[in-house]
Amino acid sequence: MIKLLIVDDSALMRRHLNGLFQAEGDFIIEQAHNGKEAVEANRNFQPDVVTLDINMPEMDGITALSLLMAERAVPVVMVSSLTEKGALATFEAMHLGAVDYVTKPGGTISLNINEIGVELVAKVRAAAKAKLKGNKVKGLAQRLREEREKPVQRAPSPRRAPVRDGIVLVGVSTGGPRTLEDILPHLPHDFPWPILVAQHMPPAFTRPFADRMNSMCNLTVVEAAQPMPVEPGHVYIGKGGADMVLGQRNGKLAVLAKPENKSYLWHPSVELLGRTALEQCDPSHIVAVMLTGMGHDGADAFAEIKKRGGRTIAEAESSAVVFGMPAELIKRGGAGVVLTSDRIASQLTSWAGC
């Protein structure tokens, strides 16, 4: 049995969520209607996993999360509104240690929670088994001040390195925002290869996520929402609600946002990104990195990249929040190197000759 704590200020939402998980038959459920009650229930009920709303009276979800992680760390799935403001709060939660998130399809009080029922149950089950990364809880004002004061060195704009020398593909899902913080900010400003990131994420979230990463990184991070030439020193985050592919524009390699290809289960699709990279690039110039996530998205394409002479990295089980996607790549014989997330940036830097 899985002990689940549902935290939401809406009695209606709590009732819907309770019914959803009761129907599964293997959840023991308690409820809290604000963050203060959640902290108390974490002590007394000691849940295996928590679903946590963000906007609540008396104590909001972000404050509650920081206390949960400091007192008794527990896997948390944030349940947030599908807005840009909700996205920013969700990324703050991921930074503080939340494992994953789901977005309410109908706003703060949703009568349509069953629309995301399958996703929510799957993410809660995965979170209950997830590894928690080291506690990063700090005072919010202190952490924001540190990020503002951190020197950010952008690659000089006149500099150009041939794209054919290398291109990095990154596939990631559950636990991805936090894991990418372990990698992208540690790449130097003169990193010579473009990086394309397919992170499973809804449409309203990818631009705020790209902006957040851009503020933390030496490289330029952008959301790939329109056709863009692929340039060194840039990180392209695939737009949510679309698929990111490689193609040609005016005779040059470009990153394109295409409508979701329904032949693939997850979006932005890692598999489709890998397949189009094989069509457009010499496989020996491709580096494919598979990070934490549920499922097998990208495993076949990345294994094919290795087979054709490309280099591949799978995140190690010891650091992966959810070992599904890296495990599938390893199972297919597609992992050239298996590394913990904190060693991936140095490996990429070494291969790029920085």
Q: Are 66 and 141 in contact (CB under 8 A)?
A: no
Active site residue 182: no
**247: helix, strand or coil:** strand
The pLDDT of residue 268: 97
The pLDDT of residue 216: 95
The pLDDT of residue 77: 96
The pLDDT of residue 134: 56
At residue 143 the predicted structure's pLDDT band, cuts being 50, 70 and 90, is very low
Say if residue 163's pLDDT is above 60.
Answer: no
Active-site annotation holder among 110, 267, 297, 319: 297
Say if residue 115's pLDDT is above 90.
Answer: no
The pLDDT of residue 329: 98
Question: Lowest-pLDDT range, 42-51, 84-93, 167-176, 226-235?
Answer: 84-93
Q: Which amino acid is at 258?
A: K
Radius of gyration of the chain (CA): 20
Q: What are the strands of the beta sheet with 242-249, ordered from one edge?
A: 228-229, 252-259, 242-249
Rounded Cα distance, 137 and 116, in Å: 29
> What own/partner pairs with CB < 8 Å and gap ≥ 24 does 27-30 have?
27/1, 27/2, 27/3, 28/1, 28/2, 28/3, 28/4, 29/4, 29/5, 30/3, 30/4, 30/5, 30/6
- Say which DSSP state 126 is in: H
At residue 83 the predicted structure's pLDDT band, cuts being 50, 70 and 90, is low
Active site residue 296: no
Q: Which amino acid is at 44?
A: N
Rounded Cα distance, 306 and 312, in Å: 6
At residue 166 the predicted structure's pLDDT band, cuts being 50, 70 and 90, is very high
The pLDDT of residue 158: 35
Active-site annotation holder among 66, 81, 110, 173: 173
At residue 172 the predicted structure's pLDDT band, cuts being 50, 70 and 90, is very high
Active-site annotation holder among 16, 33, 200, 234: 200
Arithmetic mean of pLDDT over the chain: 89
Bridge partners (DSSP) listed for residue 275: none
Q: Are 172 and 291 in contact (CB under 8 A)?
A: yes
Residue-wise pLDDT tens digits, 229-258:
999 999 999 999 999 999 999 889 999 999
- Domains of the chain are 2-130 (3.40.50.2300), 163-352 (3.40.50.180)
Say if residue 341's pLDDT is above 60.
Answer: yes
pTM of the model: 0.85
The pLDDT of residue 354: 78
Q: Where are the alpha helices (DSSP H) in the chain?
A: 11-22, 35-44, 61-71, 84-96, 117-129, 140-149, 176-181, 203-216, 270-280, 299-307, 324-331, 341-352
Active site residue 186: no
Q: What is the mean pLDDT of residues 52-75?
A: 94
Please report, rounded to a whole number, the percentage of residues in the chain having pLDDT higher than 70. 87
Q: Which amino acid is at 311?
A: R
Residue whose entry in the numeric block shows the structure tokens 């946590």: 52
Sequence-separated (6 or more) residues with CB below 8 Å from residue 289? 168, 169, 170, 171, 312, 313, 315, 344, 348
The pLDDT of residue 153: 44
The pLDDT of residue 144: 39
Rounded Cα distance, 286 and 165, in Å: 9
Q: Where are the beta strands (DSSP E) in 173-319?
A: 195-199, 220-224, 228-229, 234-238, 242-249, 252-259, 286-290, 311-315
The pLDDT of residue 31: 98
